């Protein structure tokens, strides 16, 4: 799999892990307002404070495959549930992979060409047979029937507009566009975090939570911090890189171009090109880390982020309490 496919996952999960730094209980449990952290909201409503459990993720994958099989049979096709290569991304794996450390940057750069999650995925694929047991059946169908089979199983998928929206953060997943797989996933998820996100009662709170990153980036103190980091990078030989986010995104974009990406389809570039790129990736990631350390980037970012979170808590406290009562995970 092209590692670009994992980028969005990490962007979303990193926010959840960062927000979950402090665990607290709501005022319903007798904890003072000032002790509440937005990590509580993510913990209670999105179940990402500690991240998904691997065994639970595997069990859900099995359930989804069984449901997909039922759906396909209802539509007149045979479908044997397959073994999925399941992995999870949570606080424990972040710690185990040492992501965000100098050691990570020295070995993996930004995790574009190679990364611990890619290595683990490849190792798992060698231990378990992930071949498709439906291959012979699909081959027995006519070309027209095969086309209908795949459309029924996977749906038409995201449109060009959906893909463009994912680049701006405006993407909204619609399971109805993904055939029997989409239906199965929706059925197996039950009371998923999507229920909270899609509830109009908490629309303002959701918008505020989703806007945390933008608010941080537009904060005057953040602009000052990025300028100091950018000046350090300029001294290291990198021109025109205004923010840390731009630095990593530019490398991802370069690798996409090298891979000849079109939409969601990418091909791994030749080994010599890949090795040359990885050398540049690692060098930049290490310089990026060193400049961040020089300006105390992470600690100053935490101060800005925590201040903005507290402002949101003060503004939406009644919605937070109501949302936890309605959707909070029962432990």
- Residue 128 has a pLDDT of 57
Contact predicate 80/69, CB 8 Å:
yes
Q: How many CA atoms lie within 13 A of 245 on its CB side?
A: 10
Tokens representing 323? 């949302």
State pLDDT tens for residues 250-286.
999 999 888 886 655 667 889 999 999 999 999 999 9
Predicted structure pTM score: 0.64
What does the alpha-carbon distance between residue 153 and residue 166 come to, in Å, rounded to a whole number? 23
Based on the number of CB atoms within 10 Å of its own CB, is 267 exposed (0-12), middle (13-18) or buried (19 or more)? exposed
Residue carrying structure tokens 């209980």: 25
Say how far apart CA 229 and CA 241 lie, in whole Å: 9
Residues 91-116 pLDDT 10s = 555 555 677 899 999 999 999 999 87
Q: How far is 58 from 62, CA to CA, in rounded Å? A: 6
pLDDT at 4: 39
Average pLDDT of each block of 10 consecutive residues along the chain (331 residues)? 36 36 38 51 49 72 94 96 72 64 94 81 57 92 95 90 70 87 85 68 87 91 97 96 93 89 71 95 97 97 91 88 73 40
> What are the residue ranges of helices labelled H in 27-142?
38-46, 54-74, 91-97, 102-108, 116-127, 135-140
Domain boundaries, the chain: 3-53+87-126+192-327
Exposure letters 120-129 (e unless 16+ CB within 10 A, then b): ebeeeeeeee
Helices assigned H by DSSP within the chain = 7-19, 38-46, 54-74, 91-97, 102-108, 116-127, 135-140, 143-154, 160-168, 179-189, 193-197, 203-210, 212-218, 220-235, 244-259, 271-294, 297-327
């Amino acid at each position: 799999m092209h590692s670009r496919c994992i980028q969005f996952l990490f962007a979303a999960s990193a926010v959840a892990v960062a927000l979950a730094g402090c665990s607290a209980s709501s005022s319903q449990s007798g904890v003072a307002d000032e002790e509440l952290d937005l990590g509580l909201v993510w913990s209670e409503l999105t179940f990402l404070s500690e991240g998904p459990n691997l065994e639970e993720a595997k069990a859900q994958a099995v359930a989804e495959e069984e449901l997909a099989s039922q759906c396909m049979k209802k539509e007149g096709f045979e479908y044997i549930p397959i073994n999925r290569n399941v992995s999870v991304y949570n606080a424990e794996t972040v710690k185990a992979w040492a992501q965000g450390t100098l050691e990570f940057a020295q070995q993996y750069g930004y995790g574009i060409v190679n990364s611990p999650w890619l290595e683990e995925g490849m190792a798992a694929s060698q231990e378990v047979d992930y071949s498709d047991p439906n291959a012979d059946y699909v081959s027995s169908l006519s070309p027209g029937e095969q086309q209908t089979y795949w459309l029924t199983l996977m749906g038409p998928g995201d449109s060009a507009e959906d893909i463009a929206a994912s680049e701006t953060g405006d993407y909204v997943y619609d399971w109805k566009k993904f055939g029997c797989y989409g239906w199965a996933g929706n059925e197996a998820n039950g009371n998923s975090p999507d229920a909270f996100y899609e509830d109009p009662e908490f629309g303002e709170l959701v918008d505020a939570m989703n806007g945390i990153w933008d608010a941080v980036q537009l904060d005057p103190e953040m602009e000052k911090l990025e300028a100091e980091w950018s000046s350090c990078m300029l001294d290291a030989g990198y021109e025109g890189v205004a923010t840390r986010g731009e630095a990593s995104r530019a490398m991802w974009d370069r690798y996409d171009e090298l891979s000849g990406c079109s939409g969601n389809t990418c091909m791994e570039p030749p080994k010599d090109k890949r090795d040359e790129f990885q050398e540049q990736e690692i060098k930049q990631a290490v310089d990026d880390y060193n400049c961040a350390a020089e300006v105390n980037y992470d600690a100053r970012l935490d101060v800005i982020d925590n201040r903005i979170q507290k402002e949101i808590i003060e503004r939406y406290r009644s919605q937070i309490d109501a949302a936890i009562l309605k959707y909070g995970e029962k432990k």
